[in-house]
Amino acid sequence: MKAVVQHGYGPPDRVLALEDVAVPAVGEGEVLVRVRATGVNTPDWLTVGGVPRILRLQAGLRQPKAPVRGSDVAGTVAAVGPGVRDLRPGDEVFGSLWTKSIAAGAGTFAEFTLAPATQLVRKPAGLSFEEAGASVMSGLTALLAVRDVGRVGPGSRVLVNGASGGVGTFAVQIAKRLGAHVTGVCGPGNVEMVRSLGADDVIDHTVEDYTRGPQRFDVVLDNVLNHPPAATIAVLRPGGTFIPNSAGEAKGLLGGLPRVVRAKLARPRTATVRSVECDVTRENLDALSALLASGEVKVIIERSYPLADAAGAVAHMATRRARGNIAITVR
């Protein structure tokens, strides 16, 4: 089969190559999926560049131990391993290989991939492979941040920083659906798009700094971390929740890690700081699937790339200007 194999760390067009590799052998509890579409997420482009360099301690010192990137997947079941009883060849599925470890997994930038059966669900018929494959990590993260971590409900005032990215476009829509008043923060080219997703207020970050404004919020989901954590915490109402959700700057040895750690360890007196994990379970995938199938939450895809141009897709995500999600399709 063809797979995009990573050799060393560096610019995507230099270190990623489309190569012939063996189809992985399916094991106990696993499913071999013929990949129809996948998406690019932050862990993918960070691991291609190997920045910040500290991530190489886990991913692999000279090159990644797992040579194929990608964790989101939509496709058809090609084979199931022993113990998998509720999926069979031909089923259309979507899910993720994500296991919280940047070094793990077979990778989905390939014609076939292996996923644990517990991390796949049936794809709703009304959802394209492209939409399903590009939605998993960003959609689950947004859903869990808004619903579970922020406990957003009717009347909650929610600010989403980075409202025009993959996580942000889902978070705005899901918070609106839960009855919140939503303020989205994005760049000038995305103001209309974020408004069209249902945001009540949109702040253009090139014109206005939300940490200096008069508005106060119950929940701030911060997908950018471009302000000192204390400044963001200061815009929370008493009892509010700050959800720092960004890898921060991607350069040097530590990149944005010091700020990420400062944000996560902050213990304000009148507010709570809580992280969100992309927890890939069937229950969470079914909840995301229901939202997408209902048509009330849309998957925003800026662009789809063919597998042969996975490097282009990764390079685009690494600009940190991607609008919604970036898909990779496999014929």
Which of 119, 246, 284, 289 touches ligand NAP (CB under 6 A)? 246
Cβ-count burial 3-32 (b if 16+ within 10 Å, e if not): bbbbeebeebeebbebeebebbebeeebbb
Which of 141, 232, 289, 329 touches ligand NAP (CB under 6 A)? 141
Which residue's CB is nearer to ligand NAP, number 156 or number 164?
164
Which of 183, 245, 284, 289 touches ligand NAP (CB under 6 A)? 245
Q: Is 241 in the site for ligand NAP (CB under 6 A)?
A: no
Which residues are paired to 30 by β-bridges?
A: 116
* β 217-222/157-161 pair status: parallel
Select from 22-30, 70-78, 121-129, 245-253 the region that touches ligand NAP (CB under 6 A).
Answer: 245-253
Q: Is 260 in the site for ligand NAP (CB under 6 A)?
A: no
Q: Is 166 in the site for ligand NAP (CB under 6 A)?
A: yes
Q: Is 41 in the site for ligand NAP (CB under 6 A)?
A: yes
CA distance 70 to 65: 14
Q: Is 277 in the site for ligand NAP (CB under 6 A)?
A: yes
The tokens describing 207, both together, are 């014109």
Please state, as a whole number, how many other Cβ atoms lie within 10 Å of the Cβ of residue 155. Answer: 9
Which run of H or E residues covers position 93?
strand 92-96
* Closest of 176, 119, 134 to residue 152, by C-alpha: 176
Which of 96, 113, 135, 223 touches ligand NAP (CB under 6 A)? 223
Q: Is 186 in the site for ligand NAP (CB under 6 A)?
A: yes
Q: Give the per-residue contact string, 47-76, with ligand NAP (x = CB under 6 A; - = no).
A: ------------------------------
Dihedral sign for Cα 167, 168, 173, 178, please: positive
Q: Is 132 in the site for ligand NAP (CB under 6 A)?
A: no
Q: Is 307 in the site for ligand NAP (CB under 6 A)?
A: no
Please state, as a whole number, how many other Cβ atoms lie within 10 Å of the Cβ of residue 173. Answer: 23
DSSP of 135-164: THHHHHHHHIIIIIIS---TT-EEEEETTT
Q: Please state the closest distance from residue 275 (CB atom) to ligand NAP, in A.
A: 7
Which residue's CB is nearer to ligand NAP, number 138 or number 241?
138
Rounded to 10 deg, the angle between the 166-177 and 136-143 helix axes is: 40
* Closest of 259, 255, 253, 204 to residue 231, by C-alpha: 259
Q: Is 6 in the site for ligand NAP (CB under 6 A)?
A: no
The tokens describing 274, both together, are 């809580």
Which of 224, 288, 291, 292 touches ligand NAP (CB under 6 A)? 224
Q: Is 113 in the site for ligand NAP (CB under 6 A)?
A: no
Residue 64 amino acid letter? P
CA distance 226 to 266: 16
Q: Is 278 in the site for ligand NAP (CB under 6 A)?
A: yes
Q: Please state the closest distance from residue 315 (CB atom) to ligand NAP, in A.
A: 12
Q: Is 162 in the site for ligand NAP (CB under 6 A)?
A: yes
Q: Is 237 in the site for ligand NAP (CB under 6 A)?
A: no
Binding site for ligand NAP (CB under 6 A): 41-42, 137-138, 141, 161-162, 164-168, 185-187, 190, 205, 223-224, 226, 245-247, 276-278, 317, 320-323
